Amino acid sequence: MSLRKLIGVIHPRTAVVLHDLLMAAVAWWVAKALRYALIDDAAISFHPLEFPLVLAVQGLILNWTGLYRGLWRFASLPDLWNILRATVIGALAIGLTLFLYNRLTDVPRSVLLVYPVVLSLLLGAPRLTYRFWKDSRVDMFQSQPVQRVLIVGADRAGEALARDLHRDSRYAVVGFVDDRDSLRGASINGRPVLGRVELLPELAREVAAQMLLIAMPSASTEEMRHVVELCDQTGLPYRTVPKLEDVVAGRAQFNEIKEVAIEDLLGRDAIELDWTAIRETLTGKRVLVTGGGGSIGSELCRQVARLGAQSLTVVDHSEFNLYQISQELRQEYPELLFDAVLADCGDPAATNRLFSELKPQVVFHAAAYKHVPLLQGQLRSAFRNNVLASRTMADMADRYQAECFVLISTDKAVNPTSVMGACKRIAEIWCQNLDARSNTRYITVRFGNVLDSAGSVVPLFRKQIRAGGPVTITHPEISRYFMTIPEACQLILQAASLGKGGEIFALDMGEPVKIRDLAEQMIRLAGKKPGTEIPIVFTGLRSGEKLFEELFHPLENYSATAHAKIFLAQYRQVSWELLQAQLVKASEATSAFDEESLRRCVSSLLPSFRWSDVAQPDNVVSIRRNESGEK
């Protein structure tokens, strides 16, 4: 057998063990030879079992310290620490063993001091040399050029990212930029910290960078926006690493390089939650989520499953959405008692069977129609799904004595100007009134737009940008509140734990964002120039659409709660008798498809709601705007 074949047969771990035992033997011989070299005419001698005992004891100690769990390819300080421990403890153990064997005959005590020093060098040097060779070698057959990378952020994430890139021959890290004064003139992994982040455009030109990597996982949203603005000024492509909360939640891998997403710039700083109170609300409980296949509903399902619910039932009338969330939950949480129910929440027979069989303790009602322009000319469908179906679910929660019913509402229910907002407001009124007559706690949670939810502008803008434009916006000054789906769902869970019953909680949505600014930023993130490479077209406000959204009605003087990002709106009284009577009429009008009667019922419950453009289809409104010269 040739030497090459012999080496191929030996397992790498076995080779490492043999190497270390050989080094132990050499270290023992060198330590003893150095000691005897100091004695004139003294001959070095070894007992027959001396080397076997040394190797046996040292081998056991090396294995005990965990040295063989590491790889030479990634040898680092922990491995050197293990080597140091193993050699010192090994010397003590060898001394004790040889003392028991032959009272350390022909083994001077100084050998036990020299041996661990020599062995540490013989074990550590080959490992570090091998790693240095693997990290610094150049693939001579590499066809693609090396890309010069400048890293923004010289903290742990930046240092780890630089190490990872150093192993990839496609990239060459040319330096770091960082705002910390303590790093002025410093060098990290042999690469200099060039200056402050503010100087990024200038420094990127000086070092001829070809790509920027943002390694600031703990940066606030404001800091991230500022850095991205500076990156835009360079004209270079840029990437980032995931936020810490995404890594902790399992949504991303640490040091995974990804495109800068609009969520990185519009999401807010990490929120602090009272997880103890949330777990007390959900852990060990039977939970029902309606609309569980939608954007908000599916994320609620994930978080409920993660918090240890006894069972989870998901209801959705979309077969595909229900199938998707079912497959995901069954794969991720195989121990969870899970039911997927294909049903309409407005079907009394189906909901009655559901509640009677499963007896849910906590209900999250997220099922609703949400698209404002689409619902403007379809009052019956909006009312049937957003009001009557919500009433059916709320009544079932009362009948079967659920502990808590959470209605997922919207900021469009405040001073509603759209059919969708008006219907959600009536659903709020029903739950508020029912709370006073039930043992079930009825809680309403309002919030604005969520990034990347179904029907939001973000997926639409992405599609339009991929198609080369134009990006369509209804008005130059229109603004909306935004938050991420996970944050919205976490605050919903927190509100459920805070609520005593009858409250309307509004989530702190931060500062409103101009849709025009959002579109321009998304175009820039796609590597295009707004207005030239991707045109922006203003189409005019649609029926029922507001220039800006409100979180509270002027009569709902809001107050703070135990959580800084959740506010409480004051209860506005509505006659229970009037509410019941009008919903009976509305139900009859819905069955008869009598939209005129349905309008009168809505007007009776919401006197301030105006019907000016509701009955007009979008195309009629657009024609009239064009005739008046508006864009």
Higher pLDDT, residue 73 or 360? 360
Q: Which of 368, 355, 359 is nearest to 293 (CA)?
A: 368
Radius of gyration of the chain (CA): 34
**pLDDT grade for 598, boundaries at 50, 70 and 90:** very high
Mean pLDDT of the chain: 81
Q: According to the model, what pLDDT value does residue 627 have?
A: 30
Give the pLDDT mean for 380-395: 95
Give the pLDDT mean for 139-159: 74
Among the residues of 499-608, which ranges form H helices? 515-525, 576-591, 595-605
Q: According to the model, what pLDDT value does residue 474 have?
A: 82
Q: According to the model, what pLDDT value does residue 81 have?
A: 86
Give the pLDDT mean for 218-243: 82
**pLDDT grade for 599, boundaries at 50, 70 and 90:** very high
Q: According to the model, what pLDDT value does residue 36 have?
A: 78
Give the pLDDT mean for 3-30: 74
* Peptide bond between residue 470 and the one before it cis (omega within 30 degrees of 0): yes
Pairing label, strands 479-480, 513-514: antiparallel
Give the pLDDT mean for 251-272: 62
Q: According to the model, what pLDDT value does residue 412 have?
A: 86
Cα-based distances in Å from 280 to 54, 224, 308, 310, 496: 58, 35, 10, 12, 11
On whether the CB atoms of residues 570 and 557 are closer than 8 A, the answer is yes
pLDDT of 156 strictly over 50: yes
Give the phi and the psi of residue 90 in degrees, each rounded to 5. -60, -40
Residue 170: what residue type? R
Give the phi and the psi of residue 363 in degrees, each rounded to 5. -120, 125
Q: According to the model, what pLDDT value does residue 618 have?
A: 42
Q: According to the model, what pLDDT value does residue 138 have?
A: 47
What is d(CA 194, CA 209) in angstroms, rounded to the nearest whole number? 12
Q: 41 in the Ramachandran plot: left (φ > 0), alpha (ψ -120 to 50) or beta? A: left
Mean pLDDT lowest among 77-91, 285-299, 427-441, 555-569: 555-569
CA dihedral (203, 207, 208, 210) positive or negative: negative
Q: According to the model, what pLDDT value does residue 467 have?
A: 86
Give the pLDDT mean for 170-194: 81
Give the pLDDT mean for 267-279: 72
What is d(CA 252, CA 259) in angstroms, rounded to the nearest whole number? 12
pLDDT > 90: percent of the chain: 28
What is d(CA 574, CA 428) in angstroms, rounded to the nearest whole number? 11
Mean pLDDT lowest among 137-146, 228-237, 475-484, 503-512: 137-146
pLDDT of 381 strictly over 50: yes
pLDDT of 8 strictly over 90: no
**pLDDT grade for 544, boundaries at 50, 70 and 90:** low
Give the phi and the psi of residue 417 in degrees, each rounded to 5. -120, 0
Q: According to the model, what pLDDT value does residue 4 have?
A: 45
**pLDDT grade for 358, boundaries at 50, 70 and 90:** very high
Higher pLDDT, residue 254 or 44? 44
Q: Which of 68, 70, 212 is nearest to 131 (CA)?
A: 70
pLDDT digits (tens, 9 = 90+) for 93-107: 998 998 888 888 878
Higher pLDDT, residue 127 or 382? 382
**Within its chain, how far is the Cα of 261 from the centroid?**
12
Mean pLDDT lowest among 9-18, 133-142, 144-153, 373-382: 133-142
**pTM exceeding the 0.75 threshold for the entire prediction:** no
Mean pLDDT comparison of 176-190, 423-437, 446-460, 610-624, highest-scoring range: 423-437
3-state helix, strand, coil in the chain (%, to 5): 50, 15, 35
pLDDT of 621 strictly over 50: no
Q: According to the model, what pLDDT value does residue 616 have?
A: 46
pLDDT of 625 strictly over 50: no
Mean pLDDT lowest among 25-34, 153-162, 284-293, 332-341: 153-162
**pLDDT grade for 267, boundaries at 50, 70 and 90:** low
**pLDDT grade for 461, boundaries at 50, 70 and 90:** confident
Q: According to the model, what pLDDT value does residue 329 have?
A: 93
Angle at CA 383, nearest 5°, toward 540 and 454?
55
pLDDT of 563 strictly over 60: yes
